[in-house]
Chain A
Amino acid sequence: MAHPIETENLSKVYALGRRKGTRIALDGLSIEVPEGVVFGFLGPNGAGKTTTIKMLLDFVHPTSGSATMFGKPTTEASTRRAVGYLPEQPYFHKFLKPMEVVSMHATLAGVERRMVREKALNALERTGIAEYADTPIGKLSKGLTQRVGIAQAIVGDPKLLILDEPTSGLDPIGRRHIRDLILELRKEGKTVFLSSHLLSEVESTCDTVAVLKRGTLVAYGTPDEVRGGDQRLSIQVQELDKQTRDSLRFIDVTVEERAGGVTVVASPDNIYEVMRTLEKSDARIVRVQTERESLEEAFLRLAA
């Protein structure tokens, strides 16, 4: 079965004028987004995330390569019947009310006329802004406008959601609400293509991630695969005498002074040796825990 999103060597080069030459916004991106997953699309500013989304939605045309959604070329308008899209900063006419915006998008998404109001209200309820349904958008805060954007994206019950920075402008409660909504949508079998700067958000919601750097794909896989690096073990002890510290230095571990005592960071290869040394010195072990590279650390390693 065709993937919700598939790109093959997708590239975009912008002409900057005769003297300035060109700028490569995206360079040969090949990804497959499987059905029913939350796909995190990461990268620093100018990495090519929004350009990719723009090409998927046919706002801009690729210089080379191709993209399909559910097996159909992205240039066909009918392909977008199964897609809901939230722009990075949703702009709506200020005089419109959330109910009007969401109803209009329901109509454009092909919802039957008699069902439009019901579906619009449902989308507004799911995003937590039903009480503002009849307030002009110009009077809503940035966070509430963002929720209107999310409501219009989910209103047609699309199989694929492309969300560009969905939690931008939201307070922590709002972020939590939207994160829960994304997970709920995944449970319903929908595919979510999530472009975000908030790595904690991506880490907690995404099944697969892709990291872009200056238009090039630098990592692609599950968050665990992208994190990479070995798993480390940190052993927190109350205190360490000088002799033990010297012994540990020979084993090639890191000894750090942290709040609440001394932490010895070991790798699975030398953990037994470290434990034996600590046992010999009668060090009082407070806590032993595994430490992994966070997605944020991986992101900084890959994209910085």
Chain B
Amino acid sequence: MMTGIWTIAKMSLLENSRKQVFHVLCLLMLAIIAGSTLLSIFTEGVQIKILKDLCMTCILFGGAAMAIALGSSGIPNDVESRTIHPLIARPLTRAQYVMGKFIGTFITVSIGVAAMTVAFSALIFMFQHSFDTYVGLAVLFTLLEVAIITAIATTVSTFATPAVTTVLTFLAYVGGTIKIGYVGGLIERSSGGLTKALYSMIYHALPNLECFNLKTSLVHHDAVPAAYLGQVALYGVCYIAFVLVLGMSFFARKEV
């Protein structure tokens, strides 16, 4: 079972790593991170804080953009170009195929995030003359957030076109980021039963992406309780599993 998933993942990784959008996003984000060295106008303490804030934002946006761009096109492109046919003619379930595509895309995005993290860490070392262990933790949770976005893109792409998938995943990403602050407030403010039910449904369907954001803790070196981190990680893994199971069941019925 794992062999099939891994073979598809490897194929997806090879395919994604050759895509122009991946290279462009990687280079763009690396250029922005490298450009952070121009922050010398600020005093040293502020400079480091702004650097961390800017680079973590870059890593998150870059990772999310890669996840949306690569995740939304993988499956539809395979179906459109019919490269999927020889693959699913093998003893491979549709669920294994979807899982393989998700893993392959996520590994590609992780490579991009890793490149940005290396550049970011090098900059911190340059300014601080030491590495920051918080960076690793913050990036790890950013990766979990990116994995959720990849899972959403993969699932939506099982039934929608790449363009529709890109829009829907982007909306889910924005919605997930403002879920607590904005969508939660909408539920409280709405009076009608139907509107309240609709907002409530959207609220529960959207992922809470803000909880993965450890940027503030990294900037201010605030300790984050291990129990909280454990809960957030578990939530992330469960959300990914739920979204992927949905995608697998959609794709199992799809005619290709």
> Can you list 10 A-B contacts with CB-CB less than 8 angstroms, sorted by A residue number?
A83-B89, A90-B86, A91-B81, A93-B14, A93-B15, A95-B14, A108-B3, A108-B7, A109-B91, A156-B90
Q: Judging by beta carbons under 8 Å apart, are B85 and A85 in contact? A: yes
Nearest-Cβ distance from residue B16 to partner chain A, whole angstroms:
11
Q: Judging by beta carbons under 8 Å apart, are A92 and B83 in contact? A: yes
A78 beta carbon closer than 8 Å to chain B: yes
Q: Judging by beta carbons under 8 Å apart, are A78 and B91 in contact? A: yes
Contacts of A80 in B (CB 8 A): 89-92
Which residue numbers of B lie inside 8 Å of A, CB to CB? Answer: 3-4, 7, 10-11, 14-15, 18, 81-83, 85-93, 96, 253, 255-256
CA distance A86 to B86 in the complex (A): 7
Q: Judging by beta carbons under 8 Å apart, are A81 and B7 in contact? A: no
Nearest-Cβ distance from residue B151 to partner chain A, whole angstroms:
22
Q: Judging by beta carbons under 8 Å apart, are A91 and B83 in contact? A: yes
CA distance A292 to B4 in the complex (A): 51
CA distance A83 to B90 in the complex (A): 7
Given known contacts A77-B91, A108-B4, A59 and B256 CB-to-CB distance under 8 angstroms: yes
Residue among B15, B87, B255 making CB contact with A108, cutoff 8 Å: B87
Contacts of B253 in A (CB 8 A): 61
Q: Judging by beta carbons under 8 Å apart, are A85 and B89 in contact? A: yes
A104 beta carbon closer than 8 Å to chain B: yes
A152 beta carbon closer than 8 Å to chain B: yes
Contacts of B91 in A (CB 8 A): 77-81, 108-110
CA distance A273 to B53 in the complex (A): 105
Q: Judging by beta carbons under 8 Å apart, are A77 and B93 in contact? A: yes
Which of chain B's residues has its CB closest to A101's CB? B86
A60 beta carbon closer than 8 Å to chain B: yes
Q: Judging by beta carbons under 8 Å apart, are A109 and B83 in contact? A: no
Contacts of A95 in B (CB 8 A): 14-15, 18
- The tally of CB-CB contacts under 8 A between chains A and B is 71
Nearest-Cβ distance from residue B158 to partner chain A, whole angstroms:
15
CA distance A91 to B84 in the complex (A): 9
Which residue numbers of A lie inside 8 Å of B, CB to CB? Answer: 57-61, 77-81, 83, 85-87, 89-93, 95-96, 104-105, 107-110, 149, 152-153, 156, 162
Which of chain B's residues has its CB closest to A58's CB? B88
Given known contacts A87-B86, A91-B83, A108 and B92 CB-to-CB distance under 8 angstroms: yes
List 13 other contacts, CB 8 Å, given A77-B96, A95-B15, A108-B90.
Answer: A57-B88, A59-B255, A61-B255, A78-B91, A80-B92, A91-B81, A91-B85, A92-B86, A105-B86, A108-B3, A108-B7, A109-B91, A149-B86
Nearest-Cβ distance from residue B98 to partner chain A, whole angstroms:
13
CA distance A57 to B90 in the complex (A): 9
Which of chain A's residues has its CB closest to B255's CB? A60
Contacts of A85 in B (CB 8 A): 85-86, 89
Residue among A58, A104, A153 making CB contact with B7, cutoff 8 Å: A104
Given known contacts A59-B255, A87-B85, A91-B83, A105 and B14 CB-to-CB distance under 8 angstroms: no
Nearest-Cβ distance from residue A57 to partner chain B, whole angstroms:
5
Which of chain A's residues has its CB closest to B4's CB? A108
Which of chain B's residues has its CB closest to A110's CB? B91
CA distance A104 to B9 in the complex (A): 11
Residue among A61, A107, A152 making CB contact with B86, cutoff 8 Å: A152
CA distance A79 to B4 in the complex (A): 15
Contacts of A162 in B (CB 8 A): 89
Q: Judging by beta carbons under 8 Å apart, are B89 and A93 in contact? A: no
Q: Judging by beta carbons under 8 Å apart, are B11 and A104 in contact? A: yes
CA distance A85 to B92 in the complex (A): 13
Q: Judging by beta carbons under 8 Å apart, are A77 and B92 in contact? A: yes
CA distance A90 to B84 in the complex (A): 10
Contacts of A79 in B (CB 8 A): 91
Contacts of A109 in B (CB 8 A): 90-91
Residue among B7, B15, B18, B255 making CB contact with A107, cutoff 8 Å: B7
Contacts of A96 in B (CB 8 A): 14
